[in-house]
Amino acid sequence: MKPPHERLLDEQTALFHEITLGRKSGDTEIRFGQPWVAASSIADQYYCEQKVELRRLLGEIETKDKQRGSVAHEELASDALETNQEDLFHIIFSDQLTIAHELLLVSRYKDLILVGQPDAVAFHQGRALFVFEFKFSHSRIPYHSYHVQANVYGKILEGIGFDISTLCYVIALIPSSTKGESTLFTNIVQAVMDNGPQEVTLDIDTSKVYVFPYRSTPAEEDIDWALEYWRSKRDAIPTRNPNKCTRCEYTASCELKPDTYTH
């Protein structure tokens, strides 16, 4: 019998293969012919589902905020060592505490496949301890979509077969103007690890860091609502908050934006 890290790695490889085959053949019931749904798309649906649809139809439109986010995320992982997935899975199941950055993960969920790339996950002996999401934002309160994204990552980790019995998710809200992200990242990870697996709010440098226990059932409820759209059980729902539309890069093309503030 294969050791757990080899078995999970084989399953990951098989799912990636399935995604590639499905994409080539278009043999899928999911919208836009893709056999998988990304965690980030599910989270974005909770901001505005219509925006998710326009992005698929019209393509990505670059904004300054997106560019800034990409640069900052690269900086966060700048001190990380590169390794292949085989070695990484081996370390994840060892006695060594491991922080995996931007690890691409897939898992089966009901009749489709979920894909996610969390900013970082802390592992020890095959147990997923913390999943980290770094958000460069002026907000000091995490939006609902941030919770959803972290919960989808939790569901993927659970679906892969990692031990998630003490898993917590971390939402770190970092002011957009922050510099020296790699040091900040280390400080946040250390503070969260020192605090242990419990709900807490931490002030770390200029950042607000929220830690919540992962719960499987609310995560499934969030995912199931979002998947109704991907399974074409309903049309895309636009936000009811016109304030979002004033910042939306698709506003000129959107025919469903609300006229007045109703939510």
106 binds ligand SF4 (CB under 6 A): no
Q: Residue 141 carries which side chain, given as an amino acid letter? A: I
Judged by DSSP in three states, 92 sits in helix
Residues 36-75 that bind ligand SF4 (CB under 6 A): 48, 50-51, 54
Q: How far is the CB of 221 from ligand SF4 (least distance, A)?
A: 23
Beta carbon nearer to ligand SF4, 59 or 194: 59
Q: Residue 113 carries which side chain, given as an amino acid letter? A: I
At CB < 8 A and 24+ separation, what contacts does 47-50 make?
47/143, 47/145, 47/239, 47/244, 48/238, 48/239, 48/244, 48/248, 49/229, 49/236, 49/237, 49/238, 50/236, 50/237, 50/238, 50/239, 50/254, 50/256, 50/257
* Residues 223-242, mask of contacts with ligand SF4 (x by CB under 6 A): ---------------xx---
207 binds ligand SF4 (CB under 6 A): no
145 binds ligand SF4 (CB under 6 A): no
Instruction: Mark the segment that binds ligand SF4 (CB under 6 A) among 72-80, 86-94, 177-185, 248-256.
Output: 248-256
100: closest CA among 108, 111, 91, 112? Answer: 91
Q: Residue 216 carries which side chain, given as an amino acid letter? A: S
Q: How far is the CB of 56 from ligand SF4 (least distance, A)?
A: 12
Position among 15, 189, 191, 248 found at the interface with ligand SF4 (CB under 6 A): 248
Q: Which residues bind ligand SF4 (CB under 6 A)?
A: 48, 50-51, 54, 238-239, 244-245, 248, 250-251, 254, 256-257
